[in-house]
Homo-oligomer: A and B are copies of this chain.
Amino acid sequence: MISLEEIKEMSLVSASKIVMLVIDGLGGLPDAAGQTELEIARTPYLDELAEKSVCGLVDPVSPGITPGSGPGHLALFGYDPLKFTIGRGVLEALGIGFELTKNDVAARGNFCTTDNNGLIMDRRAGRITTEKCTELSKLLSQIKLPGIEVFVWPVKEHRFMLALRGDALSPEINDTDPQRLGVAPNVAMAERPKAKDTARIVNIFIDAATKILSNHHPANMILLRGFSKLPEIPKMGEIYKLTPAAIAVYPMYKGLAKLLGMKIFSVEGDVREEFRILASCFEKHDFFYVHVKRADSAGEDGDFSRKVKVIEEVDSALPQLLSLKPDVIVITGDHSTPAMLKMHSWHPVPVMLYSHWCRPDHVMQFSESACLSGGLGRLHSADIMPLAMANALKLTKFGA
């Protein structure tokens, strides 16, 4: 695969505009009747665009590998997900606008419920309200640790972010969340010798939190996972010479986009609202990442028909996007989330790339099976970004 350094050498600034529409968890599996969510959905606009586009299937990481949201998105933005990794704690911090420094170790936290014996009964504390989460996070923020600054920020419902700021902290400690019920939370332990001190500090924090929360049933305990530090990732502006914008609802995706140097446009609303915001900032940027989360949520819930509906909503809103006449339109997903499986999966994801300069194929429908015979063939997701740049005539040639 070509390196980001090589892409950087070839990229150039131009007036052309690229829109990348990411329908989270887009790829699916056939139901009993033999068709996937995308195949059953009535998608006249997507199909019409597919006819003018070049289509294919992408593997976000590598065949057989089920990606998390982080690797799935990094790949879409052209970053080799095997080379660049972002911890969940860091993603959570970025998503709520917490300014991480290089001295910070961040973790994703859950308020949870434990019984009298300290065994986990509910990993999400009955999904307490965000208000309650905010109140409890404030209480935990007051925990004092020697030589360490403590930040506890609420995220949503039972979720919060913990950041510890101090010299020589290491993120190489295990999750305290065992991800199952009926057992006690794990003790934080160092995965490398240099993380011993951090593990000790985390355990002091957990003990203090346990005391504070003892009167706050069902949120009477915390679980931490994804301890991580800010990774060093080159910005999209630097690599591609783009001024990228991100339009997304959910914190994690905004956080990831911010890490890559995108300007964040927060949205409260559906895809029509996202496209309205796209229109409003269309003049000022040349790359737009538009994220549609609800297809993935429906897939994870095993709700086949809701996923179909989300895809149909995207389709019906598509004219808003098309009316802006972007030079390049990429429509794909960060991974598959088949409703039949109720989880992220390894199945390759349909992709279409429209531009005046694409070489169209015979694909007449945007679907898993139709994309199989598309002109892009089967690619790594990280190949999409160079293709989008090329179709926007933003890449010079490689070598003399």
Chain A positions near chain B (C-beta within 8 angstroms): 1-3, 6, 10, 29-30, 36, 57, 61-71, 81-82, 85-88, 91, 226, 340-341, 343-348, 357, 359-362, 368-369, 372-373, 375-379, 383, 385-391, 395-400
Considering the chains assembled together, what is the distance between the CA atoms of A362 and B252 in angstroms? 37
Interchain CB contact under 8 A, A64 and B383: yes
Interchain CB contact under 8 A, B88 and A400: yes
Interchain CB contact under 8 A, B399 and A85: yes
Considering the chains assembled together, what is the distance between the CA atoms of A356 and B61 in angstroms? 22
Considering the chains assembled together, what is the distance between the CA atoms of A344 and B357 in angstroms? 12
Considering the chains assembled together, what is the distance between the CA atoms of A247 and B6 in angstroms? 32
Considering the chains assembled together, what is the distance between the CA atoms of A91 and B347 in angstroms? 36
Q: Closest residue of chain B to A252, judged by CB?
A: B400
User: Taking A30-B360, A359-B30, A361-B372 as contacts, is the C-beta distance between A387 and B81 under 8 angstroms?
Assistant: no
Interchain CB contact under 8 A, B226 and A70: no
Q: From residue A385, how far is it (CB to closest CB) to chain B in Å?
A: 8
Considering the chains assembled together, what is the distance between the CA atoms of A373 and B363 in angstroms? 12
User: Taking A2-B65, A62-B2 as contacts, is the C-beta distance between A57 and B387 under 8 angstroms?
Assistant: no
Point out the residues of chain B lying under 8 angstroms from A85, CB to CB. Answer: 399
Point out the residues of chain B lying under 8 angstroms from A369, CB to CB. Answer: 361-362, 375
Considering the chains assembled together, what is the distance between the CA atoms of A334 and B361 in angstroms? 22
Q: Other than the known A86-B400, A372-B377, A378-B379, what 8 A-B pairs have Cβ atoms closer than 8 Å?
A: A30-B359, A65-B390, A65-B398, A68-B397, A69-B400, A346-B390, A359-B368, A372-B375
Interchain CB contact under 8 A, B29 and A357: yes
Q: Closest residue of chain B to A54, judged by CB?
A: B347
Q: Closest residue of chain B to A389, judged by CB?
A: B64
Point out the residues of chain B lying under 8 angstroms from A396, CB to CB. Answer: 66
Q: From residue A174, how far is it (CB to closest CB) to chain B in Å?
A: 13
Point out the residues of chain B lying under 8 angstroms from A71, CB to CB. Answer: 398-399
Interchain CB contact under 8 A, A398 and B61: yes
| Cross-chain pairs A/B with CB under 8 angstroms, 17 sampled | A29-B357, A30-B360, A64-B386, A64-B388, A64-B390, A68-B399, A81-B399, A86-B399, A86-B400, A88-B400, A346-B390, A346-B395, A372-B373, A372-B377, A377-B377, A377-B378, A378-B379
Point out the residues of chain B lying under 8 angstroms from A395, CB to CB. Answer: 64-66, 346
Considering the chains assembled together, what is the distance between the CA atoms of A390 and B343 in angstroms? 12
Interchain CB contact under 8 A, A347 and B359: yes
Considering the chains assembled together, what is the distance between the CA atoms of A88 and B399 in angstroms? 8
Pairs of residues from A and B, 8 with the lowest C-beta to C-beta distance, nearest first = A64-B386, A88-B400, A377-B378, A64-B387, A68-B399, A71-B399, A63-B383, A66-B397
Considering the chains assembled together, what is the distance between the CA atoms of A25 and B64 in angstroms? 24
Point out the residues of chain B lying under 8 angstroms from A360, CB to CB. Answer: 30
Q: From residue A36, how far is it (CB to closest CB) to chain B in Å?
A: 8
